[in-house]
Amino acid sequence: MQVIFKDISKGLYKAKVSEIKEGKGIYCPYLRFIFTIIEKGELAHYRFSGIVKPIPLKQSKFYKWAINIIGHQPGDNFRTEDMIGKECLVYLAKQNDYYAVMDVCKRSD
């Protein structure tokens, strides 16, 4: 079998949140979001992850991702589990020889 390896094109892809895992880093806890690509094409059904610190401030990356995933500002009873299964756009880019979700945007459709 002949195989030709190629790079993934960096950019925005339609995805859904498949999992959110809690982890503990050297300096602080983090959340690892696992996204599954849902658009047709070579990356359909592939999974990519992105990491955020669960900082409960409106200026945080975590807050921005939450709004873009659920489509509105989180209420007082917000739980990370509320984001699982939601669709969004993810920005994939190469980071240290692998591809990761660098940002999350609202779906436009």
Report CA-CA distances (Å) from 48 to 18, 58, 78, 82, 86: 10, 25, 24, 19, 15
What pLDDT is attached to residue 68? 96
**Average pLDDT, stretch 81-94?**
95
Q: Where are the domains of the chain?
A: 11-104
**Average pLDDT, stretch 71-90?**
93
What pLDDT is attached to residue 108? 74
- Whole-prediction pTM value? 0.91
Interval 7-40: pLDDT, tens: 888 999 999 999 999 999 888 899 999 999 998 8
